[in-house]
Amino acid sequence: MKKLSFLFVFIAVYSYSMLTQAQDFDIPSGSVMRMVNCKIIDERFDFNDVVERARVLEFDENAPNIIFFRRPIYATPEYHESWDMQIAAYYPSYTEMVDRRVASGDSSYGRLPISCSSPFVARNVIINPTDSQLEDQTAMLTRFCTLNQGASYRSAYNRMRTATENFASAGNTSMTQMWTPGLGGPRNADFDFVLAVVGPNRSELTERLDMMRNGFRPVPAENSPSFSCDRPSMWATSRVYQASN
């Protein structure tokens, strides 16, 4: 009987170990995201005007793969006081970003009524690849996050992946992204990464907020968290350009 009990315990532990290993994923290489914060400098223009003007600019083979303009809805008071919008340009790699920007020469931002900050670059990893297509205008949440003692980017990625799978099972397929610092930006940043959630449309993003408000928890409370985040900021995002390929 003791041997049989031991066998049951061994099988349970072994099965749990295999399940844990199955959920331990390597972090994908992701893409490269170049960002600048901008101020609209012509009182005759608002954010929507700038988006429409940007959409008719000529983009060639040296353009980013995709460009989004983001308007802060609920951000920090400091951001609202200093900036009106953020521009995010996506490239497949650092090499492609540098080569294309060298080849393109002057930035097309000079043809828009905006003044922008120094650029900074992040590695953008999509946690839950999804078939849901983003609408041209949607919404995004961002949170600055810090790894807990002993945690790694990999453990944070795996926790977020579990959460997104549970959200998807509950019917919400908003895209979750992990931004890790790449080039530029604050020299002594007080965070390790940014957690971003983008809804395929605005309604699905706000539905996720209501799911949490109503008590939905995507990761069991007894699981030790590998990171902690501050309050989210909300952005309206507009797709300005996307390469056909």
d(CA 88, CA 236): 13
Residue 138 vs residues 69, 71, 173, 200: alpha-carbon distances, Å: 11, 11, 14, 7
Report the pLDDT averaged over residues 201-229.
89
Which pLDDT band holds residue 222 (cuts at 50, 70, 90)? low
Domain boundaries defined on the chain? 31-242
Residue 110 is predicted with a pLDDT of 65
d(CA 56, CA 42): 18
Q: What is the pLDDT of residues 34-91, one digit of tens each?
A: 999 999 999 999 999 999 999 999 899 999 999 999 999 999 999 999 999 999 999 9
Residue 234 is predicted with a pLDDT of 98
Q: Which CATH class is domain 31-242?
A: alpha beta
Residue 140 is predicted with a pLDDT of 97
Residue 38 is predicted with a pLDDT of 97
d(CA 10, CA 15): 8
What is 160-206 written as a DSSP string? HHHHHHHHHHTT---EEEEEEEEESS-TT-S-SEEEEEE-SSHHHHH
d(CA 229, CA 232): 8
- pLDDT above 50 for 182: yes
Report the pLDDT averaged over residues 132-161.
92
